[in-house]
Amino acid sequence: MLRMVSFNMDYYWHFSQIDADHHVTTVMEPTEKERIQTPCPQSDYNYFYYLVYILYTPLYICGPIITFNDFISQMRTPCSKLTKKYVVIYALRLAAVILTMEFTLHYLYVVAISKAQAWNNDTPLQLSMIGYFNLLIIWMKLLIPWRFFRLWALSDGIWPEENMIRCMSNNFSAQRFWKSWHRSFNRWTIRYIYIPLGGSKYFAFSMWVVFTFVAIWHDIELKLLAWGWLICLFLLPEFVGSRLFTFKKFGHTWYYRFVCGLGAVCNILMMMVANLVGFCLGLDGMKAMIIQIFSSADGLVFIILVMSCLYVAAQIMFEIRESEKRRGDPKWTM
């Protein structure tokens, strides 16, 4: 469905951009942005190329999403980043993730515990670890098929974007988390839904439409709608805070990084709650877990300790981002 929308929208936008003559072929290899935004010649928007794109085997079942313009562009001008060395290293990384998943599932039974809701009399620490490792397993079970099908496409000469460019545990910003989680789908929603709705100008409105679509696209379930709407609700504080409490205005103060650290802790906790509701425990399970944690003095002490640990982790993540920025690593903006 996403590929059908991509073909038709790219074809439609071709007519609105045709006067600008954007589809003139240059000698230099186009950038990633140019591949996506530059319309193809009108003759390329035909039924044969439509079927080739829709039914492209390596990415048909699962793999990262690639737009029609990008796909046709790469058929004509292969991506220079795609080398034999890159493909071999990528295959080894995929093998390492699969072995890690096998090791985790063999020794940790958190999925069975959460499915059976068998956490009565567990300590707050045990409850939080059940939730955390469930999220980690969800991250890996999505990472493995996405990387497998991307590896297949790379071996065939097509460069789709990596869907997960960061470890799940290396995220402190809700907005940046969704840019690096299922990244190709995130970029698809930005191009075909978010920007046509007005983009950042109407962020507070358009994000509800985007995440409602994303939830229904996954499946029509109440817990997934709750997941999408919780994300929107949890994005608002960061959106407002980042606009009011900017580095330009407050970066020179001694408390700027302290406040950012506290905001990061809140973001991490809210992201964990939203994803546990959507893909693990559901509304009832999450409610039961929160009640068990907050119904005792030990649970409150535990929450304080967790927030302290997350604060330290957030400061480390700040330093990682700074080092990426110094190196010119494109991931630092994610």
Please tell me which residue, 109 or 17, carries the higher pLDDT value: 109
Residue 182 confidence (pLDDT)? 86
Own/partner pairs for 299-306, CB < 8 Å, 24+ apart? 299/124, 302/123, 302/124, 302/125, 302/128, 303/124, 306/128
Instruction: Based on the fold, state whether residues 305 and 213 are members of the same structural domain.
Output: yes
Residue 84 confidence (pLDDT)? 93
Instruction: Based on the fold, state whether residues 177 and 54 are members of the same structural domain.
Output: no
Instruction: Based on the fold, state whether residues 234 and 163 are members of the same structural domain.
Output: yes
Q: CA-to-CA distance for 306 and 125, rounded, in angstroms?
A: 9
Residue 334 confidence (pLDDT)? 64
DSSP class of residue 11 equals: H
Instruction: Based on the fold, state whether residues 193 and 325 are members of the same structural domain.
Output: yes
Instruction: Based on the fold, state whether residues 115 and 70 are members of the same structural domain.
Output: no
Angle, helices 68-76/47-54, rounded to nearest 10 degrees: 100
pLDDT tens-digit profile of 6-27?
A: 999 999 999 887 555 555 455 5
pLDDT tens-digit profile of 90-99?
A: 999 999 999 9
**Domain containing residue 62:** 2-76
* Percent of the chain residues past pLDDT 70, beyond the cut: 95
252 is catalytic: no
Instruction: Based on the fold, state whether residues 89 and 26 are members of the same structural domain.
Output: no
Q: Is the pLDDT of residue 110 over 90?
A: no
Instruction: Based on the fold, state whether residues 165 and 49 are members of the same structural domain.
Output: no
Report, as an integer, the average pLDDT of 252-265.
89
pLDDT tens-digit profile of 195-215?
A: 999 888 888 888 899 999 998
Instruction: Based on the fold, state whether residues 285 and 144 are members of the same structural domain.
Output: yes
Q: CA-to-CA distance for 299 and 199, rounded, in angstroms?
A: 41
Q: CA-to-CA distance for 285 and 287, rounded, in angstroms?
A: 5
Give residue for tokens 């001694």.
254
Report, as an integer, the average pLDDT of 115-138.
81
Instruction: Based on the fold, state whether residues 30 and 8 are members of the same structural domain.
Output: yes
Instruction: Based on the fold, state whether residues 56 and 101 are members of the same structural domain.
Output: no
Instruction: Based on the fold, state whether residues 283 and 215 are members of the same structural domain.
Output: yes
Residue 24 confidence (pLDDT)? 47
* Percent of the chain residues past pLDDT 90, beyond the cut: 35
Q: CA-to-CA distance for 91 and 151, rounded, in angstroms?
A: 7
The tally of domains found in the chain comes to: 2
- The residue among 57, 76, 95 that closes a domain is 76
* Confidence grade of residue 71 (pLDDT, cut at 50, 70, 90): very high
Please tell me which residue, 277 or 52, carries the higher pLDDT value: 52
Residue 55 confidence (pLDDT)? 94
Q: Determine which of 19-28, 91-100, 294-303, 312-321 has the lowest per-residue pLDDT on average.
A: 19-28
Instruction: Based on the fold, state whether residues 41 and 137 are members of the same structural domain.
Output: no
Residue 324 confidence (pLDDT)? 84
Which helix (H) or strand (E) segment holds residue 235: the answer is helix 222-244
Please tell me which residue, 169 or 124, carries the higher pLDDT value: 169
Report, as an integer, the average pLDDT of 47-68.
93
